[in-house]
Structure 1
Amino acid sequence: MKFELGLSSFAELSPIDGVGDTFTAQERINQIVEEIKLADKVGLDIYGLGEHHRDDYAVSDPVSVLSAAAAQTSHIRLSSAVTVLSSDDPVRVYQRFATLDALSNGRAEIMAGRGSFIESFPLFGYDLKDYDLLYKEKLDLLMNINENEIVNWEGTTRAAIHNLGVYPRAVQEKLPIWLATGGNPESSMRAGQLGLPITYAIIGGAPSRFRRNVAMYKAVAESNGFDTSTLPIASHSWGYVADTDEQARQEYYPSSSYVINQLGKERGWPEYSLEKFDQEIVHGAMFVGSPETVANKIIKLHEDIGINRFMLHVPLGSMPHDKVMKSIKLLGEKVKPIVDAYMKNKEEV
């Protein structure tokens, strides 16, 4: 499989560089479209956009934003990152992404997750005690719709469907459905059992620790009769590319530390510090630095755990948009050629 390199974003609306004004949702949504257009222009392969339902994030419906970008791009694949499937309706999920697939001429993907943010559950009338059951049943229905034009399905979390068609159908024979996980072993097992590609959110600690998750995923997939050589494995991590390591470090820390500390207050994480930031850059899951530094770290991750898609999450928090655009440009024009050359040489050996 070709190694793919791209971007992910949650469209945060935090103070710029942790201290400045805040973009409006309108500003940030339009910036996202510009980022996708640039990513397409510089040859990146994938853009994933997150779904959130709170005032510090701009995007609650990734498909609408991705559709705006679809008409202005030519090759980049367009994905959610993630679709909170547990609190959505699989029929509407499929219909929205099939529409995106039409607008993009077959470039839509779904990244389905249970959701590490839970605001959508009470908003749409779901009980968190059904967290796991909702995901299991709705994933089953989504896969059924993806496989069959005429759907028959019964479950306990929504009304049954008896011999009804779901339209429009996707341009692709099937929409790519990826499972997204932060490392829960159960998620690796579920993806393996279903033969679905998987995306790991690697946002802290040594990335090599996910080697066990990948091994579990492959073992379960093989035991269920799937050819693991055809199953893509992706990861996404926080990061930023600048001309030099020190410039990247200085420009990325203010916004990222602000967001991590805000989330830490909600989730009981220890206070984030410059020392912790530097540790993550050197030994952990922060992909921050010059094009050469970031490229080499991506290559190492590929060798350590076997990914064949990497998505850089930039920005984390809110940064001046010209810096974000410069980082995307460097990722496509400087990082990607290094990674591509390494993968080509590896194939030829």
Structure 2
Amino acid sequence: MELGVGMFGDLHVEGDGKLQPAHQRLQELVEQIKLMDELGLDFFGLGEHHRPEYAVSVPEMVLAAAASVTKNIRLGSAVSVLSSSDPVRLYQNFATLDGLSGGRAELMVGRGSFTESFPLFGYNLADYDTLFEEKLELLLQINKEARINWKGKHRAALVNQEIFPRAVKDALDIWIAVGGTPESVVRAARLGLPVIFAIIGGNPAQFQPLFDYYRRGWQHFEHPAEKLQAGVHMHCFFGTDSQQTADAYYPQYAAQMNRIGRQRGWAPYQRQQFEQGRGPQGALLIGEANEAIEKILYLQETLGLTRFAAHMDVGGPAHLDLMKSIEIYGTKIAPKVREALGK
């Protein structure tokens, strides 16, 4: 199982409510990714957002900067909002990143849980489903073929068009972020794409039927069994003492959940939810190393994971606190998980 980190570039919020400058957060991200690489973590994924509380609107730019200071870690988006992107340009950007990093780039695409990018780039939310399906089809074709003939509804046709540069090893690794619907799971299985589920609430074991459904679909469409990949993306934060870590992190975490929740009609986030999430059956890995090791191994056994992504910057923790969390993940958690799995 691959062990890595995901981030959205959340801006730290000061006590007076003032947001950290975005350029400062971008510089911190590069330093944090450099540490992940030095600690031997397998991958890093960075999300795309177009909102004031996030620093990153173009993940590939930050990842290109990180490519210059890292050697081994895989660098990808988590996610790129394909529905409001041009597949040609998206492929070119990540193929360029692939070249800069020596073949370490990967691309994770999704519909996006926020919708700001649709009006920003001139797309109609009424086309939410068809935009994604059409653009995914084109992106996968570009990834396979340098010369494209293609026609769709939402962009100009491509007639005998060559697309450069190409990925270092002929094709990019393209992941798809799926929601909790059987339709999304079947699409990924049919297309032979690795999947990742964002599990941020409830009991992760409730996702087991979807993982099983994906595996059955993968087999039904006769893809090679050894190429099946399935992962989770979960909120995490690590410290040396479980309760102290939770107590210090809760105000930042709850504030971010409430900022988002107010726009989506969620009830105010409660400490009880937080503590239940941190429990053995919950979806939060917030505390000390041994708790995290136990939960990751449980998830791997229950869901059959090949990838675990620790989403660490929810609410914008301070840079030094994030560096400490990454250090604990890389030096105490990842080695024990790998040892237990015989890696």
- TM-based fold match above 0.5: yes
**2: CA distance, partners of 1:323 / 1:14:** 11
The residue aligned with 2:236 is 239
**2: CA distance, partners of 1:33 / 1:14:** 16
Q: Is the 8 A contact 2:19 2:53 kept in 1?
A: no
The residue aligned with 2:293 is 295
Gaps of 5+ in 2: none
Residue deviations 1:32-57, cap 9 Å, x none? 11110000011111110000011111
The residue aligned with 2:184 is 187
Q: Is the 8 A contact 2:232 2:305 kept in 1?
A: yes
**Deviation of the 1:14 alpha carbon:** 4.9
3-state DSSP of counterpart to 2:208: helix
The residue aligned with 1:318 is 316
Counterpart selection for 1:32 from 29, 43, 50 = 29
How many residue pairs match? The answer is 342
The residue aligned with 2:282 is 284
3-state DSSP of counterpart to 1:312: strand
Residue deviations 1:163-213, cap 9 Å, x none? 111000011221000000232222111100100000100000000111111
**1: CA distance, partners of 2:244 / 2:3:** 22
Q: Is the 8 A contact 1:5 1:336 kept in 2?
A: yes
The residue aligned with 1:45 is 42
With normalisation by structure 1, the TM-score equals 0.96
Q: Is the 8 A contact 1:85 1:112 kept in 2?
A: yes
Letter in 1 for 2:121: F
Q: Is the 8 A contact 2:7 2:311 kept in 1?
A: yes
**1: CA distance, partners of 2:155 / 2:225:** 33
**Deviation of the 1:229 alpha carbon:** 3.2
Q: Is the 8 A contact 1:182 1:202 kept in 2?
A: no
With normalisation by structure 2, the TM-score equals 0.97
Counterpart selection for 1:80 from 77, 80, 87 = 77
Single out whichever of 224-233 and 325-334 deviates more from structure 2: 224-233
Single out whichever of 212-221 and 31-40 deviates more from structure 2: 212-221
Give the superposed CA RMSD. Answer: 1.2
Letter in 1 for 2:90: V
Counterpart selection for 1:331 from 318, 329, 332 = 329
**2: CA distance, partners of 1:341 / 1:305:** 19
3-state DSSP of counterpart to 1:337: helix
Counterpart selection for 2:56 from 59, 66, 69 = 59
Counterpart selection for 2:303 from 299, 302, 305 = 305
3-state DSSP of counterpart to 1:156: coil
Residue deviations 1:78-101, cap 9 Å, x none? 010100000000000000000000
Map 1:118-197 to 2 at 5 A. 118-197=115-194
3-state DSSP of counterpart to 1:186: helix
**Deviation of the 1:141 alpha carbon:** 0.3
Letter in 1 for 2:97: L
Q: Aligned in 2, Cα 1:78/1:62: closer, same or farther, shift over 3 Å?
A: same
3-state DSSP of counterpart to 2:341: helix
**2: CA distance, partners of 1:242 / 1:182:** 30
The residue aligned with 2:87 is 90
**2: CA distance, partners of 1:167 / 1:32:** 29
Q: Is the 8 A contact 2:252 2:315 kept in 1?
A: yes
Runs of 4+ in 1 over 2 A off after TM superposition: 18-22
Map 1:227-266 to 2 at 5 A. 227-266=224-263
Letter in 2 for 1:317: G
**Deviation of the 1:216 alpha carbon:** 1.2
**Deviation of the 1:247 alpha carbon:** 2.3
Q: Is the 8 A contact 1:14 1:259 kept in 2?
A: no
The residue aligned with 2:9 is 11
**2: CA distance, partners of 1:266 / 1:118:** 12
Residue deviations 1:256-289, cap 9 Å, x none? 1000011111111121111110000002110111
Gaps of 5+ in 1: none
